[in-house]
Amino acid sequence: MIISFNIKLNIKTGNSKTRVTESVSYSYGLNTLTKYSVRLMFVIYIAVALLLGSISPLSSMMPINITEDVRASEKSLIYSTEIQKREKKLKPEKEDKFITLQEKYKNLAGYYCYPNVEPHLDDIDKVLKTKGLDNDALFIQAMFFIGQYESHWNTGSLSGSSVGSEHPTGIFQFLPSTFRTVSRGNIYDATDQIYAFVTMVERGRVDEFATLFLPGLSQEAKSYVMNYR
Task: Please give the single-letter amino acid code of residue 112.
Answer: Y
| Ranges 9-23, 43-57, 65-79: which has the least confidence | 9-23
| Residues counted in the chain | 229
For the segment 76-121, what is each residue's pLDDT rounded down to a tens digit?
A: 667 677 767 666 665 555 556 677 999 999 999 999 999 999 999 9
CB atoms within 10 A of CB 101: 16
| Cα 151-127-221 angle, rounded to 5 deg | 60
How far is the C-alpha of 117 from the C-alpha of 171, rounded, in Å?
10
- Least Cα distance to 108 among 136, 133, 148 occurs for 136
Global confidence as pTM: 0.59
Q: Is the dihedral of CA 139, 141, 147, 150 positive or negative?
A: negative
For the segment 111-168, what is each residue's pLDDT rounded down to a tens digit?
A: 999 999 999 999 999 999 999 999 999 999 999 999 999 999 999 999 988 888 999 9
How far is the C-alpha of 134 from the C-alpha of 136, rounded, in Å?
6
- Least Cα distance to 218 among 159, 139, 102, 149 occurs for 139
Is residue 55 scored above 60 in pLDDT? no
Q: Is 178 in a helix, a strand, or coil?
A: helix
How far is the C-alpha of 104 from the C-alpha of 122, rounded, in Å?
11
How far is the C-alpha of 165 from the C-alpha of 186, rounded, in Å?
19
Which CATH number fits the domain 93-226, given the four candidates 1.20.272, 1.20.1730, 1.10.530, 2.40.128?
1.10.530
Q: How confident is the model at residue 33 (pLDDT cuts 50, 70, 90)?
A: low
How far is the C-alpha of 178 from the C-alpha of 151, rounded, in Å?
17
Helices vs strands, H then E, count in the chain: 8, 0
Sequence spans of domains, the chain: 1-52, 93-226
